[in-house]
Structure 1
Amino acid sequence: MPMPLEGLRVIDWTIWQQGPVASAMLGDLGAEVIKLESKDGGDPGRGIVAIAGQKSARLNFYFEANNRNKQSLALDLKQPEAREIVYRLAAVSDVFVQNFRKGVADRLGLGADELRARNPRLIYANATGYGPEGPESGDPSFDQLGLARSGIMFAAGEPDMPPQPIGGGIADQMGAILLAYGVLAAVISRERYGVGQVVDASHLGSMSFLQGLSLTSRLINGAAFPRVPRARAFNPLWNHYRCGDDKWIALGMLQPDRYWADFTRAIGRPGLETDARFATMGARAGNCAALIEILDAVFASRPRAEWLDILRKGGDFIFTIVNSLNDLPDDPQMIANEYIREFDHPTHGPTKYVGIPVRLSETPGSIRAPAPEHGQHTELLLTELLGYGWDEVSGL
């Protein structure tokens, strides 16, 4: 079965997470992705497990997550012969992705103007911290700084908490998603209008877009959504509660009056329906602390599995479990939708990977190859794709 980006060739000159994930997403959809790495060790993500002080025979989870479905080409880009290879490669490629600091690519002769002069249809994609313009456009950025600058650290947690970090490389991942989104738009534009172009996506722009509703509230109403303490949630039916087995359940009833009567009966507290403090949405909001205290005690009286059964049978309620990330690989919905996929790694055997979150019915993506070894495909690419002779290759 064909994949949507088959025939698209991507040069991936990126390191760490933000850039590599963007090109890996293109690879998941069938693009040929050539990871361009320095000869002296390559992408520093290759060594992140060692940096963390871990010694293990297991896969480097970080590098594997960010670099599947790629080939590795290792070159010394300070040498003119290596840059000539990149020029020849760019001439027969569709996309060039890079995430080095502003000015680095130009100094090495690998900037957008240089490469697009050789291939005007080339799409040149930049991943940055704070965008291509402005006084800090050249400043370095990592995930932590993307979280900090975007305001999301003041959106997580309770009102009296200091800024809260969010683990897992969220800003890098979001920056990658929007960079891939921009590349796909540019590919379509090229097919329609015949022109390549430069694409930019940043931590700041991506993370602010992720918070688009709250940011729009700030722009139009004058204030972003405030942090709200769980114990004083304005709508107690839009909240989460600890069950008797220390597991949590989340309620998501945005129109609470529609569910209130059935809900009170389902939880075994029918008297709450006519209690004047809780009879309407407005009354419940005014007495939210008292109601949440009651609901805390109610949900603490039974294990979560019982509450799930009660709520499913008691009405058309909107709710779900609260997972930890460690729960996700065993979540039946994750498994049924292949959000976790098993891949037969050539060295490590059957290995579970994060799946492809978008399903295409006729041209689905796939995980076809593990992250490459450093420089694994250098000779193959130079001889078979670019036509170098073996004598030339040995001299590089």
Structure 2
Amino acid sequence: MNDNDSLPPAAQGEPQSGLPRGVLSGIRVLDCSIAMAGPFAAQRLGDLGADVIKVEPTTGEWQRHAAAGGAAGNKINVSFLSLNRNKRSIALDLKSDGGREILRDLVATSDVFLQNYRPGVAARLGIDYDSLRELNPRLVYVSVSGYGEDGPYRNRPGQDLLLQAMSGAMLSAGQHGEAPQPAGQYLVDAVTASTAFEAVLAALFHRERTGEGQLVTVNMLDAITTLQMQELSVFTVGKVKQQRSDQPHAHVYIRAPYGAFKTSDGFIALAMPDLPELGRAIGEPSFLSMTSEVHGWSHRDELFEKTAAKLIENTSEHWLDVFAQTSIWAGPVYDYEALVNDPQIIHNGTFVEYEHPTEGPVKTPGFPYKFSATPARIDRGAPLTGEHTREILESLGVGGDRIDELIRSGDIAAVDEQATPAQTAEQPVRS
């Protein structure tokens, strides 16, 4: 697909393996992003076989120094480890002439450039789209921002919780008058990563048809807003406002009962059952004469209260067994330990395990869908800062003396200790 195809495997960043080459093999990605959204998108490209080169500051990317949950790791914290597998690291000072020169050389041999700098930073560094397309007109340039490339909020911090709050999503669940409840995961970062990943694939497909690269802009505000396609259409088209009531319903736009209910030994989830059928299952006679699509809206709090009063009387296992004999939608409320050990999760191969050279055994979510001919795979775990600086520069034809000179000047950073590729016994990301 580009000049990388003429390079030997080592120069392309393609470890040797008995597995088929990934669907994006031969594609080179320069990942200049930090935190979660950009790195997560780039990691997925790497899982599909792209040669992802993580361009870091000489002191390491920000996420290396911010350990979620305090999980610091040995040399790489879990936050960074989870978002940067299947990448090589080159550490450059992009404020220096030497660092920028190397980056421009890499751009000339790359297919995708991904960045989430603050507005204006890329232009100041001379690595904005207009500058880089002169070097490589086929380049797919992806810019990820919090609120958009311009506009009144362009300089606001693009932080997950702030965008969850602004998106309106927090007020689609919970109780009237109570504090809004954020999602239990970094929802906006994750959906933005998926959006950017999709955008790269679409832009590469366009380039295969036309030979043209292009600028792709993705912002977190639009990503989380468009995720709520159904909810927002109910408001904008159906003219139905968000109205939380006195009981903690899981969603304002779905009829009761709908939510998590306490049992005698835990919780179960119950999703919009037929009311007479639910009444027979739990022994609540008042539900028998109700119409689901009428009373499910007009009696939301009453339905929640009466259902809760019945379910607390017995165990989660009991109620799940009862509901399994009906057409009622019900399921367990898991913690992470239960999720990881669930038989369907194990059957699906949702989690992958490999040996990282500095962090030891790693068990982590894999890739979310499968290709029959070109499966996603893990060739290496997250790199040390600048672990592949020397290797990448040598592939550009830079001599050892020049590399040593750049290290001494501080334009680049490299590590002497080299981590080895992830030991996966040549297993695909999902089995």
**Superposition TM-score, scaled by structure 1 size:** 0.89
Over the matched positions of the two proteins, sequence identity in percent amounts to: 37
Question: Please, which of 103, 124, 132 is the counterpart of residue 149 of structure 2?
Answer: 132
Q: Which amino acid is the alignment partner of residue 305 of structure 2?
A: E
Cα gap change, 1:308 to 1:364, in 2 (>3 Å) = same
Partner Cα separation in structure 1 for residue 331 and residue 23 of structure 2: 34
CA contact (8 A) 1:214 1:224 kept: no
Equivalent of 1:47 in 58, 65, 86: 65
Measure, in 1, the Cα distance between the counterparts of 2:248 and 2:136. 59
The answer as to 2:178 corresponding to 1:161 is yes
The amino acid of 1:311's aligned partner reads F
For residues 280 and 15 of structure 1, the distance between their equivalents in structure 2, rounded to whole angstroms, comes to 48
Match of 2:308 in 1: 296
CA distance in 2, matches of 1:365, 1:55: 28
CA RMSD of aligned residues (A): 2.4
Q: Offset of 1:203 from its aligned partner?
A: 1.2
Matching residue within 225, 239, 259 for 2:259:
239
CA separation in 1, counterparts of 2:300 and 2:241?
21
The 3-state SS of whatever aligns with 2:258 is: coil
Report how many aligned residue pairs link the two structures.
Answer: 384
Q: 1:149 aligns with which of 166, 176, 180?
A: 166
Please tell me whether residue 267 in structure 1 is matched to residue 316 in structure 2: no
Q: Letter of the aligned partner of 1:392 in structure 2? A: R
TM superposition shift of 1:56: 5.5
Q: Secondary structure at the match of 1:86?
A: helix
Secondary structure of the equivalent of 2:280? Answer: helix
| 8 Å CA contact retained: 2:270, 2:331 | yes
Matches of residues 173-252 of structure 1 in structure 2 within 5 Å?
173-230=190-247, 235-245=255-265, 247-252=266-271
- Equivalent runs, 1:1-396 vs 2, <5 Å: 1-39=20-58, 41-49=59-67, 57=74, 60-230=77-247, 235-245=255-265, 247-253=266-272, 256=273, 259-269=274-284, 271-272=285-286, 274=288, 276=289, 278=290, 281-312=293-324, 314-383=325-394, 385-396=395-406
Unaligned runs of 5+ in 1: none
Letter in 1 for 2:27: L
Tell me by how many angstroms 1:57 deviates. Answer: 3.8
* AA in 2 matched with 1:308: L
Q: Tell me: CA distance 1:241–1:52, structure 2 relative to 1, closer, same or farther (3 Å).
A: closer
- The alignment's TM-score, normalised by the length of structure 2, stands at 0.82
| Separation of aligned partners in 2, 1:54 and 1:337 | 27
| In 2: Cα distance, 1:189 partner to 1:215 partner | 30
Q: Take 1:148 and 1:261, find their aligned partners in 2: how far apart are those partners?
A: 37
Distance in 2, matches of 1:207 and 1:147, equals 8
State the AA in 1 paired with 2:392.
L
Q: CA deviation at 1:300?
A: 1.2
Q: Secondary structure at the match of 2:237?
A: helix
Contact 1:339 1:355 in 2 (8 A): yes
For residue 17 of structure 1, report the CA deviation from its aligned partner: 1.3
